Amino acid sequence: MAPVERESMEVDVLFVGAGPATLASALHLMNTVKARGVEPPTVLVIEKGASVGDHMLSGAVMNPRAIAELVPDFAQQGFPTEYVCDDASFWMYTRKLAVRSPFTPPNFQKKGYHVVSLSNVAKWLAEKCEAAGIEIYPGFAGDKLLIDGNRVVGVRIGDMGVGRDGKPKSNYQPGMDIFAKVTVLGEGVRGSLSKQLIDRFDLHGMNPQVYETGIKEIWRVKPENHKPGRVIHGALFPDFLKQFNGMWLYDMKDHLVSFGFVTMLDSKNPNNDPHRDAQGFKNTPFMRKLLDGGELVRYGAKAIPMGGLYAQPKLYVDGAMLVGDSAGMCNAFKLAGIHMAIKTGIMAAETIVDAIEAKDFSSVTLGGYAERYRKSWAYEEHREARNFHGSVDVSPLFAMGLNIPLMMITKGRGLIDPIRYEAGHKHMKKLSELPENDRTPPAVQFDGKITFSKEHLVQFSGTQHEVDQPSHLVVADTDLCRDVCSVEYGNPCEKFCPAAVYEMVPDNENPGKKKLFIHHENCVHCKTCDIADPYQVITWTPPEGGEGPDYTRM
Ligand SMILES: Cc1cc2nc3c(=O)[nH]c(=O)nc-3n(C[C@H](O)[C@H](O)[C@H](O)COP(=O)(O)OP(=O)(O)OC[C@H]3O[C@@H](n4cnc5c(N)ncnc54)[C@H](O)[C@@H]3O)c2cc1C
Ligand code: SF4
């Protein structure tokens, strides 16, 4: 396309993504300038979803510590708590039995935590932000970082109205450039701009970031199966000894339950399939009894960063900061990231006010954020979990049987500190390296009542994308998929994507071979493909602003 004229605008502080990290940060920024008597800055939050909360997916049982720091009377101010947990338990399941553990491991002791819909929490925070004078632009997807020398100066929004052939359509609208003194990236897990920032400025942590993918379903269950205040975590035996997957179950209002299953993305097996794992788990008698006579309400998926402290990137550069999951702040040991996201947002906000006062948005002042983090309870919490993923990487048995208990006694140290490991996709073995009976995916029957195919479930994600646009899943070399990956790994994208986006279809130009077809319109923005592809040739980029899932109530 010929060079285009873009509109531009300038703000003092730009937040990318309207998640708990950025919304908390924006709100705290306004509260702090008021408290310190500083001239209020112009603040803009951009969000790729059609409205705030649409792309929020979480469990979620939330540690209230950070929200209480942000809004001390949050309960009185109508915070959207579903229930407060009064019964936290850990269960061990087999395909026939469900056994409640006589004690709940410390990482799953969630009594007093708030069960929430993160989508509703984001909406609640957004209302407070708007009341404080913060502008929020939903439907604005940040596409590129604007960098001047070694300084981040803003973000370019993605173009609208480009056809599948890459040519402008009649509704073509070039994305505007938004310039800011400081840009705060809170895009959540595997943020596309955050990835650019971390690579461009080499901000990588000591260990690579690693991930799991959570499948979430909301069901309306029979009243007798609904137990307000219940919070369950658990694992399927003996499978978890091979791969450290797990489940959750939280009750919500209106006889809804939030069920989720979390699958590690560092599997040796290219047939690893989070959707299949979740459906398989629903075949246990415990789940069948719970869901029998119930109704599926919503489906979705999202990756979770689980590397912890040693995988966290440097948090700032000249003109930019990373908050929440974009900075790997989720505590995967506790499956808890909302309080960390809010807390990092708070610390980033206080640092931005320092920068406004000093009129210096370079890393000299923004580095105060990392200082604050190192002195915070959030850092302490991460230190105590710092070798969690490393332990699991050695083996689930080593983790559960020895190192995690040792970590709890030694405040996170365990037997070895730090445990180093490789990126998850490097674990994947070629089919020829696997034992014969692991080479084909285990069959799961979908009964259409409790267990469902990806194609069926994706309709419950509410996702929508214009078909006539370039695929936002950019595959650098599709010949590799056809000629090499099909033989070496059996095209794992068909398995790990929980929304049936990738399909190998007959290649008429190469009889006997299959080529990649991308159903980009199904994408639920979980980021699994960007993470798990063994050749790292898939890049997730934001589609047109306003597209993607509708995670109302998730
Ligand atoms: C399956 C699952 C279960 C979980 N369970 C729990 C739990 O029970 N308790 C708990 O405390 N934590 C839980 N977590 C973790 C928690 O949800 C995250 O740590 C938290 O949501 C991180 O907040 P964030 O603001 O950093 O990012 P997010 O909540 O992911 O928000 C990021 C926002 O940025 C937007 N965005 C991304 N890129 C762009 C872009 N380029 N331009 C514009 N907008 C963009 C996204 O659309 C999204 O709205 C869970 C996570 C998952 C995935
Ligand atoms: S295409 Fe990628 S990001 Fe989209 S649903 Fe599939 S795995 Fe997730």
Q: What is the mean pLDDT of residues 490-510?
A: 97
pLDDT tens digits for range 352-370: 999 999 999 999 999 999 9
Q: Is the pLDDT of residue 207 over 60?
A: yes
Q: Is the pLDDT of residue 426 over 60?
A: yes
pLDDT of 445 reads: 86
Q: If you measure from the C-alpha of residue 273 to the centroid of ligand 2, how many angstroms do you get, rounded to a whole number?
A: 12
Residues above pLDDT 70, as percent of the chain: 100
Q: Is the pLDDT of residue 3 over 80?
A: no
Average pLDDT, the chain: 97
Residues forming beta bridges with residue 261, ordered by sequence position: 215, 247
Q: What is the mean pLDDT of residues 460-471?
A: 96
Atom of ligand 2 at shortest range from CA of 532:
7
pLDDT tens digits for range 504-518: 999 999 999 999 999
Band (pLDDT 50/70/90 cuts) for residue 174 is: very high
- Residue (of 346, 321, 333) closest to 407 by Cα position: 333
Whether 341 is in the pocket of ligand 1, judged by its Cβ within 6 Å, is yes
Q: What is the mean pLDDT of residues 123-149?
A: 98
Residue ranges with strand state E in 237-294? 246-252, 256-264
In angstroms, the CA 135 to CA 42 distance is 8
Neighbours of 471 (CB within 10 A): 18
Atom of ligand 2 at shortest range from CA of 524:
5
Q: If you measure from the C-alpha of residue 518 to the centroid of ligand 2, how many angstroms do you get, rounded to a whole number?
A: 10
pLDDT of 443 reads: 80
Whether 304 is in the pocket of ligand 1, judged by its Cβ within 6 Å, is yes
Q: If you measure from the C-alpha of residue 389 to the centroid of ligand 1, how many angstroms do you get, rounded to a whole number?
A: 20
- Residue (of 479, 365, 470) closest to 143 by Cα position: 470
Atom of ligand 2 at shortest range from CA of 520:
1
Q: If you measure from the C-alpha of residue 188 to the centroid of ligand 1, how many angstroms do you get, rounded to a whole number?
A: 5
Query: Of the residues 501, 517, 527, which should be mutated to test ligand 2's pocket, given the most ligand atoms within 8 Å of the CB?
Result: 501
Q: Which two tokens stand for residue 21?
A: 């990290």
Q: H or E stretch including 119?
A: helix 118-131
Inter-residue contact 216 to 59 (CB < 8 Å): yes
Q: What is the mean pLDDT of residues 22-37?
A: 98
In angstroms, the CA 464 to CA 467 distance is 9
In angstroms, the CA 500 to CA 526 distance is 12
Q: Is the pLDDT of residue 143 over 60?
A: yes
In angstroms, the CA 92 to CA 426 distance is 30
Whether 473 is in the pocket of ligand 2, judged by its Cβ within 6 Å, is yes
pLDDT of 444 reads: 80
pLDDT of 4 reads: 83
Q: Is the pLDDT of residue 482 over 80?
A: yes
CA distances in angstroms from 38 to 29, 33, 98, 204, listed in the order given: 10, 5, 57, 34
Q: What is the mean pLDDT of residues 158-185?
A: 96
- Residue (of 352, 367, 360) closest to 42 by Cα position: 352
Whether 56 is in the pocket of ligand 1, judged by its Cβ within 6 Å, is yes
Q: Is the pLDDT of residue 1 over 60?
A: no
Q: Is the pLDDT of residue 311 over 90?
A: yes
Q: What is the mean pLDDT of residues 66-95?
A: 98
Inter-residue contact 421 to 210 (CB < 8 Å): yes
pLDDT of 214 reads: 98
Q: If you measure from the C-alpha of residue 56 to the centroid of ligand 1, how many angstroms do you get, rounded to a whole number?
A: 6
In angstroms, the CA 16 to CA 157 distance is 10
Q: What is the mean pLDDT of residues 194-216?
A: 98
Q: Is the pLDDT of residue 2 over 80?
A: no
Place of tokens 């590129």: 144
In angstroms, the CA 189 to CA 302 distance is 8
